[in-house]
Structure 1
Amino acid sequence: MNRNTFNPFRRLHFYAAWFITPLLLTLTLSGIGFLFYPEVENMMYEHEFFGQSDAGDMQSMGAAIEEIKETYNGYSVSKISMMEEPYNNRVTISNDQGESQYVFLDENNQIVSTLDSKSTYSNFMRTFHSSLLTDHTFVRYLVELTACWAIFLIVSGTYMTFKKKLLQNRSSKLRFQKIHAVLGLVLAIPLIIIVVTGIPWSVFTGSKIAQFAADHPEWGRTELRYNPPQSDVDEIPWATRSMDQPASEHKRHAGHHSESSASDMIEGQKSVEEIITLSAENNISRPFSIVYPSNEKGVFTVSKGSNTGVTGLDVSPYEETTSYFDQYSGELIAQIDFEDYGIIGKWFTWGIPLHEGHLFGVANKILNLLVCIAFLSAITMGFMSWMKRMKSGEAKGPKRINKPWSIGVVVTLAVLGILMPLFGLSVLVIFIVETVIYFVKKRKEA
């Protein structure tokens, strides 16, 4: 009976570890850097977040918006973030070249300072973590593939630890290997959770899950067009970012449609102060963001999100809400709360802040940090184990046994491949190569 299970797992574990370790180190270290972005930004941008302008006179938010448009010629206002004290409110402006800046307003709605959005610590670390500071789709595929293979390393490592009875072996020669194995076992569940909650960012699997949710009402919401979240999207909750927005009653401007992404220049449009007041009247408490209508038929979007990626703007998943106000009458047209999400929407709404480390406060950050440190230690112990073998002249990779893979290996890889399609595609390529090598060697032996 063919029992060629251990050898394929060992070889795949060994070579995969060497292949993805550089990216695993990068993702882990950048993840630690992003984990504490609120604390870092509170120190880096103390003046912008909490400071006061030299002007002491109070002005309305509308007047502040006009001042911003005059001061930053060529930029238009696309979003206003109404923050909780002690944070200053934030106005997002952008131009036709795709450049974006944050303008901070003090308690008197006077301009305090500005920051280039791409260069902020949080946005820099997010881009570094998700796409290695590039815009190339290939890199995002590579990052996702690395995360998938990390799960395989956990599965195969767990199998080999018990198969070899490594924990019962008292040989000092296997000290580093045993530490590597123990750390792997301890990390198995928390590391899988961290990887799985990072799926919403993935370019391949994330989009497939999102589409599945949109196509199956029992899992998602048919009225939502799900997309995976990106490190540069606005602060609308993930589950409603791509929702078809309801249209305002549009009797005044029939036939005239603006093509701008957001506009506050439409005749008859409610002022931002009125939208702020309407939000309060509808029990939408700070912090929240206001996104201007995209055109003359658009609506004001007021939202609270648990995964904004903005210091001071995140709320509990249960507090998430997205409200749409008619831009002419101010009427609340529709409101979507956490309870209205499908199971996948709720999973992402919980999973993203858990992954980022702010779902349940400081304890979440500490737990994520400990997992990351332990993971780095496991990688180090694995490398040290190999180095020790190299000194004794046994550092060659696992030899290939020219036998077909066992049913257990095939089934395990197939299940993981179905759950992680990108991983499945890579394994299929490996399986084809292995099959070719097997028959070539068998032919030579005949």
Structure 2
Amino acid sequence: MKKGNYNRFWRWHFYAALFITPLLITLTLTGIGYLFYTNVENVVYKDFFFGEGSSNEQLSIDQGIEKAKEQYKGYDVTKIIVLDDPYNTRLTMTNDAGEERYVFLDNHNQIVGSQNSKYTFSNVMRNTHSSLFVGGTIVNYLVELAACWAVFLLLSGIYMTVKSRVLKRRQKSTTRQRNKKWHALIGTIITIPMVIIIFTGLPWSAFMGNIINTVAHDNPSIGVPILTQEPPTSDINEIPWATRENETPTSNKPDSHGHHGVSKTNTYDNSNMIQVQTLMKEIKKSNISKPYSIVYPSDEEGVYTVSKASNSGVTGLDVSPYDEITSYFDQYSGNLISHVSYEDYGILKKWFTWGIPLHEGHLFGWPNKLINLTVCLAFLFVILWGIKTWLSRKKRGELSAPPKVPTQLSAGFIIFMITLGIIMPLFGISLILVIITELLILIINKYKAKA
């Protein structure tokens, strides 16, 4: 039974690796790319980030916004990113089709230039990493499934390394044994950090991430505070009486599940709203320092949302988890209504706040990046040496899969797989499909044998 257990793990390890290796390589390479997106963007987009417009005339932030609206017809400002010097201010402008542009204003609030948000380096890396730049539920599930099976590969690899004693010193060893040893050694070393990286990435995954978010929202005491889920409303009595009956354009609420802090909203314009310059004075009075983002109200009762986030996905905007804050300002008076800080979060929300920047590599500066880079490169090394190990034993014209095992399953194997299936529900669903497939193959083979 012990030998059968080893062979079963080996066989499942082999087939899982065979199917998901291309995805794992893609996810790892794009993860490395995203790890250094701030460094890349600071160089590639330096003219946008640090350059100056064609005029030195000093404008207010509101005048700069109006100029941007005139220059980019059909687009309206939905978000403002106010960064520390020497970064320029970044406007997120959205049209009715949901397309986004980033427009940059210099220290005179003059327009420096613009980008199509979809094709910035960070968004290309992020969208490829999370959904292969294709998107859609099936693709998102496929990416998450690859991450789940990667956990199985790492843990089953540990089991086989211990059982086979592959790391034991030998007087003489074959090429295959050396490849197998390197594959097992590096895989064992990186198992814990790699599992941490995978699990800190799951909060924004399609299936498990949705479950985690649902639990966090349904249980404010351990997850997302009620105030974050249901932002306050502006005092509509602040609208001048003479214009209160005028019809005000409305829009959909912002997407509360925006990936990595990215939210999209339809444009909304209201002449009764306070100017951004006035709002920024109120923000300063409230002791909110740069960097921060300002998200526009989505309708006549909405509020200005001012936030500092540890996982914004915007170059120059990320802050320490302890400094994370979301504040709500009345769109008519500019008064601070309420705010939510890190201390108000439940344990799940705090996990997101620490885990996501750890996953992205900016929780504790360059050491975080270097650790993540080392683990990712080592993981690619493990994949490469796994392929070399297979090729060193592969016979020409054959798949050379590990030997078949008896149909009887050990209790240990069953408990291990069920546990992983519970921890990672999408993995559990895929296991059921694998079992059904194997049973169908078994039935077909028995039918053919009888025939």
TM-score w.r.t. length of structure 1 = 0.91
Give yes or no for the alignment of 1:280 onto 2:266: no
**Alpha-carbon distance between aligned partners in 2 of 1:312 and 1:46, rounded to the nearest angstrom:** 12
Q: What is residue 219 of structure 1 aligned with on the other side?
A: 222
Give yes or no for the alignment of 1:420 onto 2:424: yes
Deviation at 1:70, TM superposition (A): 1.3
- State the secondary structure of the residue aligned to 2:389: helix
Query: 149-158 or 72-81, which moves further after superposition?
Result: 72-81
Deviation at 1:414, TM superposition (A): 0.3
Specify the code of the residue in structure 1 equivalent to 2:85: E
Q: What is residue 15 of structure 2 aligned with on the other side?
A: 15
TM-score w.r.t. length of structure 2 = 0.90
- State the secondary structure of the residue aligned to 1:220: coil
Q: Superposition pairs for residues 344-423 of structure 1, below 5 Å?
A: 344-390=348-394, 396-423=400-427
Q: What is residue 173 of structure 2 aligned with on the other side?
A: 172
Deviation at 1:330, TM superposition (A): 1.4
Specify the code of the residue in structure 2 equivalent to 1:106: D
The 8 Å contact of residues 417 and 424 in structure 1, kept in 2 or not, is answered as yes
**Residue ranges of structure 2 left out of the alignment (5+ in a row):** 252-264
Q: What is residue 30 of structure 2 aligned with on the other side?
A: 30
**Alpha-carbon distance between aligned partners in 2 of 1:162 and 1:154, rounded to the nearest angstrom:** 13
Give yes or no for the alignment of 1:258 onto 2:262: no
Q: What is residue 327 of structure 2 aligned with on the other side?
A: 323
**Alpha-carbon distance between aligned partners in 1 of 2:396 and 2:301, rounded to the nearest angstrom:** 74
Give yes or no for the alignment of 1:338 onto 2:342: yes
The 8 Å contact of residues 256 and 296 in structure 1, kept in 2 or not, is answered as no
C-alpha distance 10-175 of structure 1, shift in aligned 2 (>3 A): same
Q: What is residue 233 of structure 1 aligned with on the other side?
A: none
- State the secondary structure of the residue aligned to 1:314: coil
C-alpha distance 116-439 of structure 1, shift in aligned 2 (>3 A): closer
- Give the number of aligned pairs: 428
C-alpha distance 332-36 of structure 1, shift in aligned 2 (>3 A): same
C-alpha distance 393-59 of structure 1, shift in aligned 2 (>3 A): closer
**Alpha-carbon distance between aligned partners in 2 of 1:437 and 1:70, rounded to the nearest angstrom:** 65
**Alpha-carbon distance between aligned partners in 2 of 1:43 and 1:221, rounded to the nearest angstrom:** 36
1:134-166 deviations in Å (ceiling 9; x for gaps):
122211110000000000001111001101111
**Alpha-carbon distance between aligned partners in 2 of 1:115 and 1:433, rounded to the nearest angstrom:** 48
Deviation at 1:391, TM superposition (A): 5.8
**Alpha-carbon distance between aligned partners in 1 of 2:331 and 2:221, rounded to the nearest angstrom:** 33
Specify the code of the residue in structure 1 equivalent to 2:378: A
Q: Share of identical aligned residues, percent?
A: 50
Q: What is residue 193 of structure 1 aligned with on the other side?
A: 196
The 8 Å contact of residues 262 and 295 in structure 1, kept in 2 or not, is answered as no
**Alpha-carbon distance between aligned partners in 2 of 1:69 and 1:176, rounded to the nearest angstrom:** 60
The 8 Å contact of residues 190 and 371 in structure 1, kept in 2 or not, is answered as yes
C-alpha distance 221-114 of structure 1, shift in aligned 2 (>3 A): closer
**Alpha-carbon distance between aligned partners in 2 of 1:403 and 1:288, rounded to the nearest angstrom:** 59
**Alpha-carbon distance between aligned partners in 1 of 2:418 and 2:81, rounded to the nearest angstrom:** 46
The 8 Å contact of residues 268 and 299 in structure 2, kept in 1 or not, is answered as no
The 8 Å contact of residues 225 and 345 in structure 2, kept in 1 or not, is answered as no
The 8 Å contact of residues 93 and 103 in structure 2, kept in 1 or not, is answered as yes
Q: What is residue 44 of structure 1 aligned with on the other side?
A: 44
* Residue from 426, 429, 436 that aligns with 2:433: 429
1:255-298 deviations in Å (ceiling 9; x for gaps):
84532346663233111011111111111100001111111111
**Residue ranges of structure 1 left out of the alignment (5+ in a row):** 225-239
Deviation at 1:7, TM superposition (A): 2.1
Specify the code of the residue in structure 1 equivalent to 2:10: R
The 8 Å contact of residues 94 and 267 in structure 2, kept in 1 or not, is answered as no
C-alpha distance 126-104 of structure 1, shift in aligned 2 (>3 A): same
Deviation at 1:402, TM superposition (A): 2.4
- State the secondary structure of the residue aligned to 2:34: helix
Q: CA RMSD in A?
A: 2.1
Deviation at 1:97, TM superposition (A): 1.8
Q: What is residue 63 of structure 1 aligned with on the other side?
A: 63
Specify the code of the residue in structure 1 equivalent to 2:16: A
Q: What is residue 98 of structure 1 aligned with on the other side?
A: 98
